[in-house]
Structure 1
Amino acid sequence: MHQVKLFKGVENEIHGLEAEINAWLKESGAKVVQMLGNIAPQTPGREQGGSTSRFAPSDLFLAVVYEA
């Protein structure tokens, strides 16, 4: 039976999201059927102290379809 696991994060923390997904895959032993991802378009953000980026970080979304 297929099941779905959803992950979300932000562009400037992509390594943390990657580590979270890899840890889940290792711990669960899930057999991945398909992975789908999306990155939201960047939109101008408010000026934040010390930030050199003109845009806010984009949202990341990943859906993993796996067999339980």
Structure 2
Amino acid sequence: MQQVKLFKSVENEVGNLEKEINDWLSRSGAKVVSITGNIAPQSAKPDGGGGLGKGSFSPSDVFVIVLYEIGS
């Protein structure tokens, strides 16, 4: 049976996200069917003085979906 594992992080911590996913794959013994990811568009920080002209952006969210099967 196929199952889904979701991972979420921010773009400036992609290295940590990669390690988290690889560690989980090693521990779980999951057989990966597919991996899909998405990075959200950047938006100005909600500090009241933001705006596109200031160049101050929050890190974008990164979302990874792993479709996998557990070996029997």
What's the TM-score once normalised by structure 1's chain length?
0.86
Question: 3-state SS of the aligned residue for 1:57?
Answer: coil
What is the correspondence of 1:43-58 to structure 2 with a 5 Å cutoff? 43-45=43-45, 46=47, 54-58=56-60
Aligned counterpart, 1:36: 36
User: Which is greater in Rg?
Assistant: 2
Output the CA distance in 2 between the equivalents of 1:40 and 1:29. Answer: 29
- 1:29 is displaced (CA, Å) by 1.0
Structure 1 residue runs of 4+, over 2 Å off?
Answer: none
Q: Deviations over 1:37-68 (max 9, x none)?
A: 00000001137xxxxx6211000000000012
What is the correspondence of 1:15-34 to structure 2 with a 5 Å cutoff? 15-34=15-34
State the Cα RMSD in Å: 1.3
What's the TM-score once normalised by structure 2's chain length?
0.82
Report sequence identity in percent.
Answer: 60
Aligned counterpart, 1:10: 10
List gaps (5 residues or longer) in structure 2.
50-54
- 1:17 is displaced (CA, Å) by 0.6
